[in-house]
Chain A
Amino acid sequence: GAVVSQHPSWVICKSGTSVKIECRSLDFQATTMFWYRQFPKQSLMLMATSNEGSKATYEQGVEKDKFLINHASLTLSTLTVTSAHPEDSSFYICSAPDVANYGYTFGSGTRLTVV
């Protein structure tokens, strides 16, 4: 089945630095990528939707200047958390629609810890 490879699986960074998370679709073209954030013991919250070659669409309350999304190719979407703070510590997950099959394929997630 379709696979989305997400890296890194975990990262620890210092406050004020930026972190980039990559999601690659390995055997299909992902024209759309959804980015979620999940805090401990909570559900997944959609942050933004990226479309290849165009600007991302952000959900209400998500700062687009803080969470930079780039979807430059049909197989790669990136999320950069800029000037990270401890409250940005969370589990970040990407997902792409697998239109050739039935569902959505999710990355394995990135656990970000900001110290």
Chain B
Amino acid sequence: DAKTTQPPSMDCAEGRAANLPCNHSTISGNEYVYWYRQIHSQGPQYIIHGLKNNETNEMASLIITEDRKSSTLILPHATLRDTAVYYCIVRTGGPGTASKLTFGTGTRLQVTL
């Protein structure tokens, strides 16, 4: 699976959009981009995934560049409860497959008042 690079930490004011970047310049054509987050001392939580099109769900939006070498997770209106470590993961196989997830170091997002 391709390696990802994320900034180690970011701050965001409550109510503002949080934009979390991820670089995956070695991604190959059959690899999906997944985002998970981990709130302190809990198991990771699925946020969103995509292959090449932008995606949106009730939690977030995922913007993938046309060359697929980077992506941005957008939390449109961050709240204090969004404070967590966010992991961008690239893996072979989309929904319905069971290949392992390899976690990088992630971005620690701190949402402040």
Binary interface encoding of chain B residues 25-56 relative to chain A, with 1 for a CB under 8 A from any of its CBs, else 0: 00000000010101001111110010000000
CB <8 Å contact, B95 and A102: yes
CB <8 Å contact, A109 and B49: no
Interface residues in A, total, Cβ within 8 A: 26
Residues of A within 8 A of B43 (CB): 4, 6, 93, 95, 106-109
Chain B, interface size category, equals 20 to 34
Q: A104-B46, A106-B44, A108-B43 are in contact. Are A97 and B103 (CB under 8 A)?
A: no
Q: In the complex, what's the smallest C-beta–C-beta distance from B38 to chain A, in angstroms? A: 8
Interface of A, helix, strand, loop or mixed by DSSP: strand
Q: In the complex, what's the smallest C-beta–C-beta distance from B54 to chain A, in angstroms? A: 16
CB <8 Å contact, B95 and A99: yes
Which residues of A in the span 1-29 have a Cβ within 8 Å of any Cβ on B? Answer: 4, 6
Q: How far is the CA of A49 from the CA of B100 in the complex (A)?
A: 8
CB <8 Å contact, A32 and B98: yes
Q: In the complex, what's the smallest C-beta–C-beta distance from A28 to chain B, in angstroms? A: 12
Q: In the complex, what's the smallest C-beta–C-beta distance from A104 to chain B, in angstroms? A: 6
CB <8 Å contact, B46 and A97: no
Q: A43-B87, A43-B105, A102-B46 are in contact. Are A109 and B41 (CB under 8 A)?
A: yes
CB <8 Å contact, B41 and A91: yes
Residues of B within 8 A of A102 (CB): 46, 49, 94-95
List chain B positions with a Cβ less than 8 A from chain A: 34, 36, 38, 41-46, 49, 87, 94-98, 100-106
